[in-house]
Amino acid sequence: MSDSSSPRWVVPGYLTEVNGHLNINGADAVELARQYGTPLYVFSEARITDNINRLKSAATSVWPRVKLCYASKANSTMAVLNVVKGSGIDLEVNSGGELFQALKVGFTGDQIIFNGVAKTEREIEEAINADIFAINVDSLYELDLIVGVAERLKRTANVTLRLVPEIITRSHVGLQTALYKSKFGLSPQEVQKGFDRALSSKYVRLRGIHIHVGSQTPDADAYARAFELMWHHMVLLYQRTGYQLDHVNLGGGIPVNYLRDDSEVDQIGERERVMLGATLDLSEILRTALDAIASQLTTSVSNAEEMLNKLTLLFEPGRSIIGDTGVMLTRIHNTKTRPETGDSWLLVDAGYNQLLPMNNYKWYYHAVAAERAAEPHTEKYKLAGPLCDGGDVFFDLEGNRLPDYRLLPNDVRSGDLIALLNVGAYTLAQLSRYNSRTAPAVIMISREGKAKVARRAESYEDLIARDSW
């Protein structure tokens, strides 16, 4: 652990301060920015692996049969997928493109599950031909589509039905995916009909049932309610048909603590503090979920305990693997003051085109002065990005969901380097070229502290490479 004199953002072995500079897994952030330019995404191989090992340890401490499938939508950069593959866990994909990446990097079909609300026939065909572990079915219509493709190919489609109950969490409303008003999954009244349809085709293998309660979920009871409902439907299926599912998929949503450094927490609304500062652990999720059905083991069916003991429990962690492994380095290119308000403004070269959750969900990324990391961060600045868009700011124009000011050292100037922490999830994956701003380079820091280009920075020529005129 860090000593009491260390900044609160310090993560020993990963994020530290060395000779006044921010150090990322042994690499000097200031030198990285000098060599590769800004904005710059920097990821830590060691932190990704350590996060995966932590999740594996938490899972196996509670249940012997757990399959972890990294949610590649959180960050599908090939270098990241390669580290995930090397860690020994599996993968969840959400499109034909992500399936292509998964197979290209070396995942085998039995390591892949496929989510999505509008899968095309081409994507379904590709999934069946790859003999993936499970296609998570989003509707009765989609199930009929899968049956049709499987029968045309005369190949078996492995399927799991995705259920959407009414489970409310304390996450952002846009991240809650188990509500009746959400676009995902089959309703509870459709699930048994879906089971019967799957069992009626000789080219479909029914494998499991799935609920994803949403992302950055702070409470274990949401998972308990999900597991209880899936167990009910699993037992009902067995009572009606004698067919037993081989897995229950509890989805992802395991949170990352974005408020490790809580120096600005008093500027953030209460609901956002609960969500952004969540510390829910996978072992707690599993214990709570299993406890939820304990009383039913003696009242549902005679062999209920045997059924449970045969189950594999699936999880789809994305954010909890990649979220705190990424840092965005951005340089100040303009400063200004507002005499009317007394505000000091810092205009940096990273905006919501590289940090879209900041705009979509008012997400908080802690800021550190990379060249002055050991100095007190006590001065208030308005931080904003470079885009020609009034919403490209690091505060909330509409309320109190983000801090109005960012705390940095005294007398920060144009040319100084700022590091934004915990940017690993849903930033690079949602990158845009708004204002024709080229995509930054992506750097992966090896366990030995060596920097490797995982994706080169785009050039102006790249902006028009696919255009015709």
DSSP string across 337-384: EETTTTEEEEEES--TTT-HHHHHS-----EEETTSTTS---EEEEEE
Regions of the chain where pLDDT drops below 50: 1-2
Q: What's the confidence (pLDDT) of residue 445?
A: 98
Secondary structure (H, E, C), 50-62: HHHHHHHHHHHCC
Q: What's the confidence (pLDDT) of residue 172?
A: 67
Q: What's the confidence (pLDDT) of residue 170?
A: 57
Q: What's the confidence (pLDDT) of residue 270?
A: 86
CA atoms within 13 A on the CB side of 123: 19
C-alpha separations of 204 from 128, 130, 342 in Å: 10, 14, 66
Q: Token pair 């962690």 is at which residue?
A: 317
Q: What's the confidence (pLDDT) of residue 361?
A: 87
Active site residues: 388
Pick the CATH number of 15-44+326-464 from 3.40.50.300, 2.40.37.10, 3.20.20.120, 2.60.120.10: 2.40.37.10
Domain boundary assignment for the chain: 15-44+326-464, 115-317
Q: What's the confidence (pLDDT) of residue 1?
A: 38
From the list 181, 168, 259, the residue with the least C-alpha distance to 214 is 168
Rounded Cα gap, residues 160 and 208, in angstroms: 5
Rounded Cα gap, residues 37 and 355, in angstroms: 17
Rounded Cα gap, residues 434 and 423, in angstroms: 19
With 0-12 CB in 10 A as exposed, 13-18 as middle and 19+ as buried, what is 266? exposed
DSSP 62-114: T-S-EEEEEEGGG---HHHHHHHHHHT-EEEE-SHHHHHHHHHHT--GGGEEE
Q: Token pair 């308005």 is at which residue?
A: 382
Spelled out in words, what is the top-level CATH class assigned to the domain 115-317?
alpha beta
Q: What's the confidence (pLDDT) of residue 2?
A: 44
pTM score: 0.95
**Amino acid identity for residue 424 in this structure:** G
From the list 228, 267, 246, 264, the residue with the least C-alpha distance to 400 is 267
Summarize pLDDT for 34-92 with one digit per residue, the tens: 999 999 999 999 999 999 999 999 999 999 999 999 999 999 999 999 999 999 999 99
